[in-house]
């Protein structure tokens, strides 16, 4: 009986090695594989569902009609903005995750609700990661540009709409500041939405 145990372990180990899926490689990742989720919220989520998940979000209506639902990880100064655009009423179609100054998270009159939401993309890219990790996980961007202050914006556009994704025309912007990721911005369009531009 004791002689059979090493054989059984060897058989189980071989089975595990040969049946497990290999990890994703950068060359296998295509731009049209952009995920529709950021900060554990899926684009196209109904506002009611968002408020069930994060009931204390701060609601801020902007002049152009957008409504921001915001929170901050107060310890890390990471801000999360979930946007309901005026042409997609009732749905989140824009998610922005970023590092900010303390004054954005709190001031003498109060602060954004404190949530410890993970500032990470579905592929494991985190705020503070280096640019080479973006390329490793997402491949070559659709476009890249440098903006004021020497910040760099890497843009990934979905090449084709995915069947199982509610929101279409997905775009992911990744901002690099001083060599490290300072923000993610994921956006898309609800089917049939009539944008003013």
pLDDT tens for each residue of 25-34: 444 444 447 8
Work out the average pLDDT over 123-127.
94
Contacts of 189 (CB under 8 A, 6+ apart): 88, 93, 167, 168, 169, 195
Choose among 84, 86, 85: nearest CA to 51.
84
Q: Is residue 81 part of a domain?
A: yes
Q: What's the rounded mean pLDDT across residues 103-112?
A: 90
Query: What is the percentage of the chain residues whose pLDDT exceeds 90?
Result: 67
Domain assignment of residue 8, yes or no:
no
Q: Which residue has the higher pLDDT, 136 or 25?
A: 136
Structural domain contains residue 175: yes
In which band, very low, low, confident or very high, does the pLDDT at 110 lie, cut at 50, 70 and 90?
confident
Q: How many CA atoms lie within 13 A of 28 on its CB side?
A: 4
Q: How many domains does the chain have?
A: 1
3-state class of 119 per DSSP? Answer: coil
3-state helix, strand, coil in the chain (%, to 5): 25, 35, 40
> Which has the higher per-residue pLDDT, 27 or 74?
74
Does the pLDDT of residue 107 top 70, yes or no? Answer: yes
7: which 2 tokens? 């054989």
pTM (2 decimals)?
0.80
Top pLDDT among 35 and 159 is at: 35
Question: Rounded to whole angstroms, how far apart are CA atoms 3 and 8?
Answer: 9
Range of the domain at 179: 25-189
Does some domain include residue 16? no
Residue 162 has pLDDT above 90, yes or no: no
Domain presence at residue 140:
yes
In a domain, 70, yes or no: yes
Task: Answer whether residue 159 shows pLDDT above 80.
Answer: no
18 sits in which H/E element: helix 4-19
Average pLDDT for the chain: 83
Whether 11 maps to a domain, the answer reads no
pLDDT for res 161 = 67
| 123 closest CA partner among 133, 113, 115 | 133
Assigned domain for 20 exists: no
Mean pLDDT on 70-75 = 94
């Amino acid at each position: 009986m004791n002689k059979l145990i090493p054989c059984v372990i060897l058989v189980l180990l071989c089975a595990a090695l040969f049946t497990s899926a290999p990890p994703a490689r950068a060359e296998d990742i295509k731009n049209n594989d952009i995920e529709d989720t950021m900060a554990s919220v899926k684009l196209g989520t109904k506002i009611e569902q968002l408020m069930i998940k994060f009931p204390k979000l701060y609601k801020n209506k902007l002049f152009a009609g957008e409504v921001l639902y915001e929170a901050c990880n107060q310890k890390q100064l990471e801000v999360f903005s979930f946007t309901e655009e005026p042409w997609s009423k009732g749905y989140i179609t824009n998610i922005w995750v970023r590092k900010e100054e303390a004054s954005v998270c709190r001031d003498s009159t109060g602060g954004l609700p404190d949530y410890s939401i993970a500032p990470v993309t579905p592929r494991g890219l985190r705020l503070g990661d280096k640019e080479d990790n973006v390329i490793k996980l997402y491949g070559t961007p659709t476009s890249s540009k440098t903006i004021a202050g020497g910040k760099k914006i890497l843009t990934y556009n979905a090449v084709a709409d995915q069947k199982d994704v509610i929101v279409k025309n997905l775009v992911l912007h990744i901002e690099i500041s001083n060599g490290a990721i300072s923000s993610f911005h994921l956006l898309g369009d609800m089917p049939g939405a009539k944008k003013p531009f």
